Structure 1
Amino acid sequence: MQPQVHRKGFSKDFNLMVVGQIISILGSALLRFALSLYVLDITGRADLFAILFAISNIPFLLSPLGGAIADRFNRRNLMVIFDFISSVIVFSFFLLLVGGNTSVLIIGIVMVLLATISAMYAPTVMASIPVLVEDNKLEQANGIVNGIQALSNVAAPVLGGVLYGVIGLKMLVVLSAILFFLSALLEMFINMPFVKREQSEHILPTLVKDMKVGFMYVVKQSFILKCMILAALLNLILTPVFVVGSPIILRVTMRSSDSLYGIGMGLIDFATILGALSIGIFAKKMGIHNLYRWVFITALLVVPMAMSVMPFVLDMGYYPSFILFIFSAVLIAMVMTIISIFVITIVQKKTPNENLGKVMAIIMAVSQCMAPIGQILYGLLFEAFSLKVYVPILFICCAMLLMTVATKKIWRHDELV
């Protein structure tokens, strides 16, 4: 077989998957945003939607099952099936809307069903990337896929808000169903290698056994276990800074206007896109032995973020503190994204294809479990130090410095092959 190392750009199959991802993720993001506005419109209660949103995130615990399925069946076919089922669910919801049979409960059920499919879909995609892309382009490919997800987080509120106001919920739901269906059609043309594995039992006990194999593989492979712990700690320590910390600091501490608050949060979201798309450049200078330097850089960047909310800077006026905070947050978001994609790429290179889906799913599930814990912890810290919000930020700096030392120590003898 002729090597493809010198091919310029990506293969047709990867490009098709990327386009399908753009369409599918956009459809999902638009629908989630539209439903949030609709619930607020019909109930006037933000707390009710917050509860629904939290419940809809529970299915991510099913990611390991999705990983086991991704390793057992044709991943191209799985993506087609998942998008097609999503289209059917959304179109069924549209029929209920037309019949006037909608309620908060039905919306909650729709969100949980779509979140369940998403939990299965994500590890399938992550396990498909190494099959469609050469090793030397894996970081860049992961950056593109992550960048699409980050871009949807930025575009959905803007585009969703406009479409919700112009065409209304019903037409937006139809649009979402069409987007899922188009994504399924595109994915049908992807040519993805697949070798059917032997199956001695019925599918359910086989999948349970596969999940157990996946967990044991992650635990026994110390290198992969270290990567999972690093990803989990990043989600525990840094992710809540942007989800909980930034809104509190910009809105409460700095008392930003609606427009400046939107600009600030938008720039932070945009930074994750830049980080994802620039991984191809930085990956050449990154290695497992110098990863601690990137963690150390993140720790240093937290210092000016803490300074931005110290009394002497706040006394200088609004703009110096706002600019210093956003500048630090943007750089941290970029570096965090680069580290995350680099670590995921290492795991993909180290993991055999038959275990890729399970390993990716386990890492994703464990990492995502850490984010809510960090959000609750930071919520309590920012409330306790509401008059000295720089204290919890300095706590983050200390935690990242400890991570720097730990990262340097635990990967001292590891080599990336």
Structure 2
Amino acid sequence: MGVVQSGIISGVGDRFSQVAVLTLILQVTGSGMAVGTALGMRIFPYLFLSPIGGKAADRIAPQYLMIAADLLRIPFALSFALIESDKDMWMAFTGIFVLSCGEAFYQPIRKSTIGKITEPSQLTVVNGLEQFRTGVVLILGSVTGGAAAYFFGTDIVFVFNAVSFAAAAFLIRKLEVKKNPVQENSEPPRIEMKARDWLSTGILLVVFIQWLGAGMDGIFNVMISVYAVEIFSSGELGVGLLYGALGTGLMTSFFLMKLVKRHPLLFSILALVVEGVLQGAASQAGTLYQLMLSFFVIALIGGMSGAFLDTLVMKRIPSVRQGSVFGFIESGSNVILGMTMVGGGLAVDVFPIRNVGFTGGMVGFFSGLLILMYRLFRHKYLKKQS
């Protein structure tokens, strides 16, 4: 599928570029604050542009929106190659901000497009492939990005990122997406998602689970580097191995999803609980290999859960509103992710590292338990009413 292939190519290019840009900023400025600022700038465009992108996907042919987003990012991807001194840092921050704006706009469009071009019976498989894609991006992008920048220089990496945007646009140029009534009619019908619709379809619960997962991931992302460097003194190699374990877990999740034949929402709730336990256990790991195993299982369960949750949105929300819903989910998830990354980063400077990781896992564990209790209570209540 062109959407999946284009996502792999542009995703790997983006990961390559991210590693190279952060390395370049650190080399030129020698400032950790500059790196932190760069990471923060990648998050906030999601607050505004993901909802806009989602609404646009409900009204305009999404393939044109994705092609435009890819092509407009090319000059900014190349601009990093012009940076030579700290006086050029404005180009770095401008480029990071614009690329992040493009990604924030692009993601809900891409997700809603999958729901529009895929047969309902194949949605779970395709969303599983999306998790597989993310695993490939993690391994090829994060693990090899630093090596590519080290051996071939950052300029080559920036060129590769620009080429990846062009290639992604080329792959989806002939993508055919069935028009919905909003795109076909001059006076589109009003199909609003009211509060009772969010509750009756279970989508509100899906949103809460994804947002809680984003909160856990924010702390988890901070801990990846901290565990490797501070706890196990394995440096960049350790970071690469941990990302490799995560990528492998996501890729494996695709092959195990078929084992879950019923109750995908319940599985996703239980996955939140189990991920919390595993993150708590990972914080107490005695060796790097034990940590890698924990990361593998966390990504495996999380990948399956993520695919099931996306499938539920695509099946239960009308196609004319999927873009808006995915925009809402992406916006909230990424803002929460950014806030918890900042909070996690501050916490590891104040509290013992293992305690921070354990606390993050327990937050997910108890949040998952509360959602599970609500789910069971609601099911019992509805059964009594019927």
* 1:144-183 Cα distance to aligned partner (Å, 9 max, x none): 2233234223322343333323443333333322221122
What amino acid does structure 1 have at the position aligned with 2:59? R
Q: What is the alpha-carbon distance in structure 2 between the residues aligned to residue 179 and residue 279 of structure 1?
A: 30
* 1:45-103 Cα distance to aligned partner (Å, 9 max, x none): 23212212212321111100000111110011111211121224335x27x72999971
* 1:107-131 Cα distance to aligned partner (Å, 9 max, x none): 1111111111111111111011122
| Residue among 359, 363, 369 paired with 1:392 | 359
Partner SS for 1:248: helix
Change (3 A) 1:412 1:183: farther
What's the counterpart of residue 198 of structure 2?
A: 221
8 Å contact from structure 1 (residues 295, 404) kept in 2: no
Larger Rg: 1
Partner SS for 2:212: helix
Change (3 A) 1:302 1:53: closer
Instruction: Say if 2:374 is the partner of 1:406.
Output: yes
| Residue among 157, 160, 165 paired with 1:180 | 165
What's the counterpart of residue 72 of structure 1?
A: 59
8 Å contact from structure 1 (residues 219, 225) kept in 2: no
What amino acid does structure 1 have at the position aligned with 2:15? A
CA shift, 1:265, in A, is: 4.0
What amino acid does structure 2 have at the position aligned with 1:78? L
Partner SS for 2:38: helix
Listed as ranges, the matches of 1:110-189 within 5 Å are: 110-189=95-174
Instruction: Say if 2:225 is the partner of 1:240.
Output: no
8 Å contact from structure 2 (residues 135, 251) kept in 1: yes
8 Å contact from structure 1 (residues 381, 392) kept in 2: no
What's the counterpart of residue 12 of structure 1?
A: none
CA shift, 1:42, in A, is: 1.8
Structure 1 spans left out of the alignment, 5+ residues: 1-14, 201-205, 310-317
Q: What is the alpha-carbon distance in structure 1 between the residues aligned to residue 353 and residue 273 of structure 2?
A: 28
What's the counterpart of residue 244 of structure 2?
A: 266
Partner SS for 1:221: helix
What's the counterpart of residue 9 of structure 1?
A: none
8 Å contact from structure 2 (residues 249, 299) kept in 1: yes
What amino acid does structure 1 have at the position aligned with 2:60? F
8 Å contact from structure 2 (residues 22, 38) kept in 1: no
CA shift, 1:357, in A, is: 0.5
Change (3 A) 1:262 1:217: same
Change (3 A) 1:243 1:126: same
What amino acid does structure 1 have at the position aligned with 2:322? L
Q: What is the alpha-carbon distance in structure 1 between the residues aligned to residue 69 and residue 248 of structure 2?
A: 28
CA shift, 1:337, in A, is: 2.2
What's the counterpart of residue 40 of structure 1?
A: 26
Query: Which one is further off, 330-339 or 242-251?
Result: 242-251
Instruction: Say if 2:6 is the partner of 1:28.
Output: no
8 Å contact from structure 1 (residues 295, 403) kept in 2: no
* 1:334-359 Cα distance to aligned partner (Å, 9 max, x none): 21221122112101100111101010
CA shift, 1:255, in A, is: 4.3
| Residue among 293, 311, 332 paired with 2:298 | 332
8 Å contact from structure 1 (residues 147, 273) kept in 2: yes
Q: What is the alpha-carbon distance in structure 1 between the residues aligned to residue 99 and residue 40 of structure 2?
A: 14
| Residue among 26, 47, 50 paired with 1:63 | 50
8 Å contact from structure 1 (residues 123, 360) kept in 2: yes
CA shift, 1:333, in A, is: 2.4
Q: What is the alpha-carbon distance in structure 2 between the residues aligned to residue 258 and residue 114 of structure 1?
A: 25
8 Å contact from structure 2 (residues 276, 360) kept in 1: no
Query: Which one is further off, 377-386 or 188-197?
Result: 377-386
Q: What is the alpha-carbon distance in structure 2 between the residues aligned to residue 305 and residue 100 of structure 1?
A: 40
Q: What is the alpha-carbon distance in structure 2 between the residues aligned to residue 218 and residue 88 of structure 1?
A: 42
| TM-score, structure 2 normalization | 0.84
Change (3 A) 1:381 1:408: farther
| TM-score, structure 1 normalization | 0.78
Query: Which one is further off, 139-148 or 383-392?
Result: 383-392
What amino acid does structure 2 have at the position aligned with 1:72? R
CA shift, 1:248, in A, is: 3.2
Partner SS for 1:278: helix
Instruction: Give the total of aligned pairs.
Output: 376
Change (3 A) 1:250 1:189: same
Instruction: Say if 2:307 is the partner of 1:341.
Output: yes
* 1:284-336 Cα distance to aligned partner (Å, 9 max, x none): 24433555444444355456435x35xxxxxxxx54xx444433332122212
Change (3 A) 1:37 1:273: same
Change (3 A) 1:146 1:294: closer
Identity of aligned residues (%): 19
Instruction: Say if 2:9 is the partner of 1:18.
Output: no
8 Å contact from structure 2 (residues 19, 142) kept in 1: yes
Partner SS for 1:188: coil
